[in-house]
Chain A
Amino acid sequence: MTERDSRNRTGRWWPVCTLAFVVSSLLADLTPRASDWLRFERAPIARGEIWRLLTGHLIHEVEQLAVLDLTALALFGVYVERVSRRLLGGVLLVSALVSSLAVFFLTDYERYVGSSALVSGLLVAAALSVLRSSRGGAGRLLALTLIALFALKIALELHGSWPAALGGLPPGYEPVAAAHLGGALGGCAAVFMSRA
């Protein structure tokens, strides 16, 4: 879809790709049995169901997690889509792949749910875009603050002192630093690839 396609008759711009992702995720969460086929699950992936590496990020299983993740994704997604629709697509794709591979190879989790790895990628991509586009100090300060707070969160997760409840996770679900790191790396990679 081109930029022109997403404008209505009054010339208003719409974040159609971001909205499409959020709606797809909600549909995947609400459709019975969809999660059986889409979510990140170690054993089926090892058997060859590799689409789960990408589609797993659509599944949340927990209502609160879905609301928080998709709200954050919509906020960052709108910004990144405004910069470039191609960049948004790149971030979603590369972050999904890199974070899933990180969870698969660097952890022993049987399952992984949520789209916060994609939010991580979008956050980094948005911060880098702000750094690139801002001429004044305020923009740069904002971008560095975003990155610093995100890095602090990752550090606390790696240290094991980030309470799962703060991430909107119920008992039995644990935040996975590897997924967020993978997502952030994917975001960086997508930004640099889009520049190349």
Chain B
Amino acid sequence: MNRFSNTHRLFAQVAIAALLVFTVACISTSSQRKSNVLEYLYPEGKAASTAEAVQLELPLNVGVAFVPESSRYSTAIRPGEKEALLQRVKAAFAGAEGIGRIEVIPNSFITPGGSFENVRQIQSALGVDVIVLVSYDQAQFDDPNMASITYWTIVGAYVVPGNENETHTLVNATVFDIDSEALLLNATGKSVVEGRSTAMDLERSLREASVEGFRLAVDDMIVNLGGALEDFREQVKTGTVRGKGTPAVELTSASSGGGGGVGAGGLGPLGVVLGLLLLYLAPPARRRA
């Protein structure tokens, strides 16, 4: 009887341990959210056109927008967060050589699967020449660690950080000339954010990691986009967008006297030289009351 009881107890202990491990394994989760620029521009049944030549008149007015998520995925970023991220892109390139106005395109202007017809509507509404479409792919993994066993005490679920999570974010900016529909350049940014949380705090922790992941990835993308822009400027000097086999490209400046161009002062170094001459050579200023 006693022997049977011991075996029974051992069996029960193994079963409980297995149940614990099984339970812990069961609540490992992962999720992925993404948007795809090709799905937006070339929805099913829409053929891609081939641009032969691109004419860009400087300074370029630029629109910046997030590509809408396809219906298969839920959104990873709230509209306000999207705008804040796009404002970072705008601030980074405001005043850059050859770039005029930068417009952050409101979320409501973007139609999922809208293709270049939607882009042209945006062009006529906001007067932009090129569009920067930002797509993303974010995956979040959550793995309970050994400390998650304390969740069985219920109190542990509130106080012990037994969940480890990782958030991998990749954002990609593709820049298109709207008139020719030609891809001019693209740049990618990525980030990995790691965190720990309690079971009860898991959702909030993942949400914060998602926002932080986007912020870091967009900052990385801004740096890479700056590099891609420099490369593009050099490439344009050879007469094509991205080398042999890609569309020819021609840059022009806005016509003199305006026509939508940007005027500037620009006395330049002459102003500085004349100012120095004045301060060095002029007699001391006679002060008036």
- Known A-B contacts A75-B276, A115-B265; the reply to A83 vs B285 at CB < 8 A is yes
Binds B, one of A20-28, A45-53, A162-170: A162-170
Give the contacting residue for A139; candidates B98, B100, B279, B282; CB below 8 A. Answer: B282
Q: Which residues of B contact A (CB under 8 A)?
A: 58-60, 87, 90-91, 94-95, 97-101, 251, 253-254, 256-272, 274-279, 281-289
- Known A-B contacts A142-B277, A149-B274; the reply to A174 vs B262 at CB < 8 A is yes
For the complex with contacts A111-B263, A120-B267, A133-B285, 19 further pairs of A-B residues with Cβ separation under 8 Å are A65-B264, A69-B265, A71-B275, A83-B285, A107-B258, A109-B258, A116-B268, A126-B282, A129-B286, A130-B283, A133-B283, A134-B282, A136-B283, A142-B278, A149-B270, A167-B264, A167-B265, A172-B58, A176-B264
By a CB distance below 8 angstroms, the chain B residues around A136 are 283
Contacting pair B91 A153 (CB below 8 A): no
Give the contacting residue for B98; candidates A75, A80, A170; CB below 8 A. Answer: A170
Which of the listed residues B87, B261, B271 has the most CB atoms from chain A within 10 Å of its own CB? B271
Contacting pair A110 B258 (CB below 8 A): yes
CA of A94 to CA of B267, assembled, Å: 19
Contacting pair A71 B272 (CB below 8 A): yes
By a CB distance below 8 angstroms, the chain A residues around B261 are 109-110, 172, 174
Distance in Å: Cβ of A152 to nearest Cβ of chain B: 10
By a CB distance below 8 angstroms, the chain A residues around B271 are 68-69, 71-72, 76, 116, 119, 123
Contacting pair B265 A171 (CB below 8 A): no
CA of A123 to CA of B265, assembled, Å: 14
Query: Which chain A residues (127-142) contact chain B, with CB distance < 8 Å?
Result: 127, 129-130, 132-134, 136, 138-139, 142
Distance in Å: Cβ of B129 to nearest Cβ of chain A: 11
